[in-house]
Amino acid sequence: MTNSLYVHVPFCLRKCGYCGFYSMASPHPSLLDRFVHGVEAELALTVAPDASAPRDTVYLGGGTPSLLGVSRITRILHAVRQRQVLPPGAEVTLEVNPETITAAELDGYVMAGVNRVSIGVQSFSDRDLAFLGRVHDGKRAEAAVRAAVDCGIRVSLDLIYGLPGQSGDDVIEQLERAASTGVGHLSAYELTCEPGTPLAPVLAARTNDREDLFFLVHERLAGLGLTAYEVSSFARTPADRSMHNLATWAHQPYLGLGPAAHSFSGVAAGRASRCWNLPDLDAWLESLEHGHAPPRGHENLGPEQLLLERVMLGLRTTLGLDLEAIRADLGIDLGDPFAARLDELAAQGLLTLSPGAATTTLSGMALADRLAVDLTAHAHLNRLVEAESPRSSRLAPDT
Ligand code: SF4
């Protein structure tokens, strides 16, 4: 089992025109200090001092966590280490933006225990970056990535494709420039906009052939030595893959700290729970400064919801669906109609089947979410096999 910790840092230099993540622009340094105190307090409230379960991955995301700077990130990681064992090989990722890091700061983050950075490049084209509302330019982005690679830590960069008017050749140029930096990992996302963001109306009028771009991105990156292990995630070798994301996609437990952060209990005998801090920095700070847990939402998940998530996540990755694990973890016998539907989808070239497993082809991966809904509609959820589940006796009713 992989045990993960996520810290949501809700600050950015300014808001990008497409972004729906919970973050606020231009925070005063005193607010950054209060935030770090809040993380320390939330950690103290949430994790017992003698907690023995190690944290295999720590992910500082946002927002723009590098806005906190080296000393505050050092304090957060120190607080984590005071309460949690980070075993040798634990993956500690920091999300950074090109405009907020220098080579000296990268050294400082490494000293603090960061061993992987994820850089929000999005594009090396100044025109694209201006359209997206990013603060950095292409030159700054490339310098930041090369400085991180030179640091000797694991480096991932994010790219966005599918901008209005962007041609296939434009996309290829971006991919080639990204690969030439020597990064071991790349995330390439199609541009989407949250409703209500400034770019949403512009995107509604977009005319690019988005399915073509998906195949073009996957094929070109494979040619550059970066192969997909998830719809939007590419790595040079298995060791370059994001352990944190792989654990999340496999329904492993994680603890989230910070406003808007989610936590997941892990799955036991077909049940799990998810909770989340409300996206309200003031309420989060005020609660913790008065010694209380921050306001939270909560949901219990049963086999039906977990199955849909497990199938969706499995079809989005090259790890595929582990049918035996689904049966053991969720206590579900998927039944003959599910198996027959797998056969039909394999005959259509969307899945590859092997004993106890199904994996999407690239064509199937492009349709992963739709296939997941289709497949789960063929599962016989009434055929529970809880008696066969090795973990059912340890199930707490609301976990
Ligand atoms: S830097 Fe990232 S988190 Fe911040 S506004 Fe831009 S896209 Fe959103």
Summarised one tens digit per residue, pLDDT across range 44-100 is 999 876 667 789 999 999 999 999 999 999 999 999 999 888 999 999 999 999 998
Beta carbons of 155 and 183 less than 8 angstroms apart? yes
268 touches 399 (CB < 8 A) = yes
**pLDDT tens-digit series, residues 5-39:** 999 999 999 988 888 899 999 899 999 999 999 99
Supply φ then ψ for residue 322, to 5 degrees: -95, 100
Q: What is the pLDDT of residue 374?
A: 93
Residue with more model confidence, 179 or 388 = 179
- pLDDT at residue number 210: 66
Regarding the beta carbon of 65 and ligand 1, being less than 6 Å apart is answered no
Distance CA 66, CA 64 (A): 5
Q: With a cut of 80, say whether residue 202 has pLDDT above it.
A: no
On whether the 4-248 domain is CATH 3.20.20.70, my answer is yes
Strand 11-12 to strand 116-122: parallel, antiparallel, or no bridges (unpaired)? Answer: unpaired
100 C-alpha to center of ligand 1: Å?
Answer: 12
Q: How many CB atoms lie within 10 A of CB 300?
A: 14
> Is the sign of the CA dihedral 237, 312, 275, 157 positive or negative?
positive
Position 105 pLDDT exceeds 60: yes
Q: Which of 49-58, 178-187, 188-197 has the highest mean pLDDT?
A: 178-187
pLDDT for 16 equals 87
- Residue closest by Cα to atom 3 of ligand 1: 63
User: How far is the C-alpha of 180 from the C-alpha of 198, rounded, in Å?
Assistant: 32
- Contact call for residues 182 and 152 (beta carbons, < 8 A): no
Residue 205, pLDDT > 50, answer: yes
Q: 21 CB under 6 A from ligand 1? A: yes
Per-chain mean pLDDT for the chain: 90
Which neighbouring-strand residues pair with 257?
Answer: 7
Q: So what's the pLDDT on residue 196? A: 77
Find the distance separating the first CA and the last CA of the chain, reported in whole Å: 17
Separation CA 171–CA 167 (nearest Å): 6
User: Please, which residues have CB within 8 angstroms of residue 104's CB and are 6 or more apart in sequence?
Assistant: none
Joined together, the tokens standing for residue 366 give 């492009």
The Cα 354–Cα 318 span in angstroms is 13
Q: 318 or 388: whose pLDDT is higher?
A: 318
Q: Which of 25-34, 101-110, 186-195, 256-265 has the lowest mean pLDDT?
A: 186-195
Beta carbon of 19 within 6 Å of any ligand 1 atom: yes
Look at 173-177, 209-213, 215-219, 306-310 and tell me which has the smallest mean pLDDT. Answer: 209-213
Question: CA neighbours within 13 Å on the CB side: how many for 306?
Answer: 30
Domain range list for the chain: 4-248, 304-394
Q: How far apart are CA 364 and CA 352, in angstroms?
A: 9
**Given this model, what pLDDT does residue 389 score?**
39
Q: How confident is the model at residue 387 (pLDDT cuts 50, 70, 90)?
A: very low
Check if 4-248 and 304-394 are the same fold: no
Rounded distance from Cα 64 to ligand 1 centre (Å): 7
What is the per-residue pLDDT for 396? 29
Pocket test for ligand 1, best of 9, 13, 18, 19 (most atoms within 8 A of CB): 19
Q: What is the pLDDT of residue 19?
A: 86
Threshold 0.85, pTM exceeds: yes
| Residues ≥6 apart with Cβ < 8 Å to 163 | 123, 128, 131, 132, 191, 208
pLDDT of residue 364 exceeding 80, the answer is: yes
Residue 19 CA, closest ligand 1 atom number: 8
Q: Whose CA is nearest to atom 7 of ligand 1?
A: 19
- For 166-177, the pLDDT digits (tens) are 999 999 999 999
Give 381's pLDDT tier (boundaries 50, 70, 90).
low
pLDDT tops 90 at residue 139: yes
- Residue 220, pLDDT score: 98
pLDDT score, position 382: 52
**Which sign does the torsion angle of CA 149, 151, 156, 157 carry?**
negative
Using CA atoms, how far residue 220 sits from 121, 167, 217, 240, in Å, is 19, 14, 5, 18
Domain spanning 304-394: CATH 1.25.40:
no
- φ, ψ of residue 9 to 5 degrees: the values are -105, 105
pLDDT-derived band at 193 (thresholds 50, 70, 90) equals confident
Residue 208's pLDDT band (cuts 50, 70, 90): low
The residues pairing with 182 across neighbouring beta strands, listed in sequence order, are none
CA–centroid distance, 327 to ligand 1, in Å, is 39
In tens, the pLDDT along 222-253 reads 999 999 999 999 999 999 999 999 999 999 99
The span from the CA of 230 to the CA of 177, in Å, is 21
